[in-house]
Amino acid sequence: MQKLAKLSYLSLAVVASLSLSGCGGGSAASATASASKYLGTQAPGDVWSWQLNDTTFSASNNTLGTHYSGAKSLLSTGFLKLTVTATDDTGLTTGSSAYALEFPGTALMIKPAGSDTKAPIVAGSLGTNPSGPQVSFNFVTVPSSTFDSVNDQAYGHVTFTVTGNAYDGTSHRWAIDGTALSDGPSNFTGANGLMTDTDNNATGAMTPSGVCVLDYGPGAGGVIGVKQPSANVDWSDFSSKSFRGFLINSGKTQCVAVTPNGDGTLHGDGYAMGTGVETGTFDGGGGVTISFQSQPNPGIVKIGVAPSGGGSPEIIAAAINQVNGKYMLFGFGYGSGKGYNVILVQQ
């Protein structure tokens, strides 16, 4: 992994995110006995539908009208490998592989098949709406093509009042440097986990277990997040776990591994592009050290990411919570004039 500012090693974006091609699907992502269906987003604004079975998958890019199907297998590195055996996408060769991480019935994160420059897909499961009378989410942005670090939201939280299928709330938003931005209305209608907000042209999914994925349309970005915990995230517990995930930065998606250092920090390293995630080969960049900086709100954690050899940390805003007993992290950072994302799933 190289310096984070140049984005050689660690990131998310989507969000959520959250395609087919570079990083598999993890320990929280083992095969399921029945089909799991997901709706997701991919920068700069494509909406995807996915279905994963025991050994197969199918997917469609609802925005572009392309379709994919093939075989699913679990790699020793903890990622899922999705091999495309049939597609009407003329830009993709059959036999290409995507890599994914899955929380069965909750969330699916995918590095698309084909070029490493393809943005990842972040998807939430469809099934039932989150229950009321209130539900709160922390979120980070999946940057639009015109993201402005001064005036655009980097992270925030929202509490919805639930009345039937109506979810009405106010989004509290901050820029990446912590400056408070104006609040904004968030009013959604839910149908089996599928959420729509016609006022803001948003489509996405919210799961009862605690993941949200929203897309604002082509070029407009989106948000990805998790339910807000009732108390601060225990960093000492979080930093004792191992994770797999994706770094999305400088137009590339990289599969990453994060492991505890034993001193309250974590070590992050990126798998070599191509088949490094299949062979367990890292990119030789030395990796990064991940440290706790602050927690301005429960579950919104500012983390520092610095080269393992030393140096000043770059700050990432992260939405963190446990989902079905496993930590999930959706992060957003800004460096070298560009926004980027990090997605981590506990193994």
Give yes or no: residues 40 and 78 share one domain.
yes
Give the model's confidence band at 168: pLDDT under 50 very low, under 70 low, under 90 confident, else very high: very high
For the domain that residue 271 is a member of, what is the CATH number? 3.30.700
Q: What is the mean pLDDT of the chain?
A: 86
Count: domains in the chain: 3
Among 42, 79, 74, residue whose Cα is nearest residue 55:
74
Domain residues for 249? 235-328+335-346
Give residue-wise pLDDT tens across range 226-247. 999 999 999 999 999 999 999 9
Q: Which of 193, 227, 261 is the last residue of a domain?
A: 227
Angle at 27 between CA 235 and CA 340, to 5 degrees: 60
Q: Is residue 174 part of a domain?
A: yes
Task: Give φ, ψ of 68 to 5 degrees.
Answer: -145, 150
Q: Which residues contact 70 (CB under 8 A, 6 or more apart)?
A: 56, 57, 82, 83, 84, 85, 86
Q: Is residue 286 part of a domain?
A: yes
Q: Is residue 6 part of a domain?
A: no
- Are 312 and 295 in contact, with CB atoms under 8 Å apart? no
Give yes or no: residues 155 and 69 share one domain.
no
- Report whether pLDDT(19) > 60: no
- Are 64 and 49 in contact, with CB atoms under 8 Å apart? no
Average pLDDT over residues 113-128: 82
Q: Is residue 102 part of a domain?
A: yes
Give yes or no: residues 164 and 247 share one domain.
no
Q: Is residue 36 part of a domain?
A: yes
pLDDT value at residue 44: 66
Q: Which residue has the higher pLDDT, 77 or 125?
A: 77
Give yes or no: residues 245 and 216 share one domain.
no
Q: Which of 122, 148, 179 is the last residue of a domain?
A: 122
Give yes or no: residues 151 and 117 share one domain.
no
Give the global pTM: 0.83
Q: Which helix (H) or strand (E) holds 277?
A: helix 276-279
Average pLDDT over residues 11-20: 33
Give yes or no: residues 82 and 142 share one domain.
no
Q: Which residues contact 89 (CB under 8 A, 6 or more apart)?
A: 61, 66, 67, 68
Give yes or no: residues 250 and 204 share one domain.
no
For the domain that residue 214 is a member of, what is the CATH number? 2.40.128.20
pLDDT value at residue 28: 39
Q: Which of 122, 150, 185 is the last residue of a domain?
A: 122
Q: How far is Cα 245 from Cα 262, in angstroms, rounded to an integer?
A: 20
Give yes or no: residues 256 and 340 share one domain.
yes
Paired with 203 in beta bridges are 196, 215
Among 260, 306, 253, 261, residue whose Cα is nearest residue 277:
253
Paired with 260 in beta bridges are 266
Give yes or no: residues 249 and 151 share one domain.
no
Q: Is residue 210 part of a domain?
A: yes
Paired with 259 in beta bridges are 267
Q: Is residue 2 part of a domain?
A: no
Q: How far is Cα 95 from Cα 97, in angstroms, rounded to an integer?
A: 6
Q: What is the DSSP string of 187-255?
A: EEEEETTEEEETTTTEEEEE-TTSEEEEE-STTS-EEEEEEPPSS---HHHHTTS-EEEEEEETTEEEE
Q: Which residue has the higher pLDDT, 123 or 66?
A: 66
Q: Is residue 49 part of a domain?
A: yes
Give yes or no: residues 258 and 293 share one domain.
yes
Give yes or no: residues 111 and 151 share one domain.
no
DSSP annotation of 102: E
Give residue-wise pLDDT tens across range 46-103. 889 999 999 999 999 998 999 999 999 999 999 999 999 999 999 999 999 999 998 8
Give yes or no: residues 19 and 108 share one domain.
yes
Place of tokens 């970005």: 221
